[in-house]
Copies of this chain bind each other. A is one copy, B any other.
């Protein structure tokens, strides 16, 4: 089972930031594989979604990049900036909070009958 894409919307940026916080330095393809692995294939980030997100994080100054050559092939590493680390904490705790709220909302039984 793969989660419907609408669920990924809005959480992708947080997932990427959190992975970078835990792994210090990652490149795009590595991120897609790591997420796939950690979620047992239930979350599959497409490249069309990931790269624009990474570029946006870079534009916002939340990550810095460095290019490395593996043989003749380019690899672009992303690292959290100080503001990126703060942002990660914010986003993760907001999502954790949101999930608590949703859990409550999904469990409620306030039948009118």
Contacts and interface: CB of A to CB of B under 8 A. Distances in A.
Interface of A: 1, 3-4, 6-11, 13-15, 18, 22-25, 35, 38-39, 42-43, 92, 94-99, 101-106, 108-113
Please classify the interface of chain A as helix (H, G, I), strand (E, B), loop, or mixed, using the class held by over half of its residues.
Answer: helix
Given A7-B10, A9-B9, A23 B101 contact: no
A4 B96 contact: no
Contacts of A23: 110-112
List the number of copies, as a whole number. 2
25 contacts: A3-B97, A3-B101, A4-B94, A6-B10, A6-B13, A7-B11, A7-B95, A8-B10, A9-B10, A10-B10, A15-B102, A15-B105, A18-B106, A22-B108, A22-B109, A22-B110, A23-B111, A24-B112, A39-B104, A39-B105, A43-B101, A95-B102, A95-B106, A96-B106, A99-B103
Contacts of A43: 101, 105
